[in-house]
């Protein structure tokens, strides 16, 4: 059996983080292929249920990516996302789940290299943490 390869689901805003991922690709910046990107209009569109559903259906980690504070194209979507994800992480922690599996990062359209760095760091951390306990609990 090979080394554990974590599955990451990334919910990203189309204006910043998705464009950064695209820039990483067009700039040929290498990053691990462990991430499946889901493009949304804004990080404020990320319902915490999306995160829970991803974790319950096989993701080892979830990334929420959006525009930097003050740069959201819908004014305050990223602030709302930050609050919601903080609350979700608190709830997850209180039920015994490792909240460090859920990351929120602000990555602008010009930060392709930073996008690659975040994915690389997340993969490294998840490899240390091992498979999500939800996976083994439900035998996914």
In the complex, the residues that contact ligand FES under the rule CB under 6 A are: 13, 15-16, 42-44, 66-67, 72-74, 77-78
End-to-end CA distance of the chain: 17
Sign of the dihedral through C-alpha 105, 73, 45, 27: negative
d(CA 80, CA 82) in angstroms, rounded, equals 5
Number of H helices, E strands in the chain: 5, 4
- Of the two residues 61 and 66, which places its CB atom closer to ligand FES in the complex? 66
| Length of the chain (residues) | 140
CB-nearer residue toward ligand FES: 23 or 126: 23
For ligand FES, the closer of residues 81 and 122 by Cβ is 81
Q: How far apart are CA 132 and CA 140, in angstroms?
A: 10
Q: How far apart are CA 109 and CA 61, in angstroms?
A: 22
Contact 6, 127 (CB under 8 A): yes
Nearer to ligand FES, 78 or 132 (CB): 78
Least distance CB 80 / ligand FES (angstroms)? 9
User: Smallest distance from the beta carbon of 10 to ligand FES, in angstroms?
Assistant: 13
Q: How far is the CB of 73 from ligand FES (least distance, A)?
A: 4
Q: How far is the CB of 7 from ligand FES (least distance, A)?
A: 24
């Amino acid at each position: 059996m090979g080394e554990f390869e974590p599955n990451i689901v990334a919910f990203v805003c189309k204006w910043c983080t998705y464009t950064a991922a695209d820039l990483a690709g067009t700039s040929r910046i290498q990053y691990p292929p462990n991430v499946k990107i889901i493009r949304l209009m804004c990080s404020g569109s990320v319902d915490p249920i999306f995160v829970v559903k991803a974790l319950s259906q096989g993701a080892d980690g979830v990334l929420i990516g959006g525009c930097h504070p003050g740069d959201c194209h819908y004014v305050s979507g990223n602030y709302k996302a930050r609050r919601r994800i903080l609350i979700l992480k608190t709830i997850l922690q209180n039920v015994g789940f490792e909240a460090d599996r859920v990351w929120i990062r602000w990555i602008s359209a010009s930060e392709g290299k930073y996008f690659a760095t975040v994915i690389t760091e997340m993969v490294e951390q998840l490899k240390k943490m091992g498979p999500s306990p939800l996976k083994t609990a439900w035998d996914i």
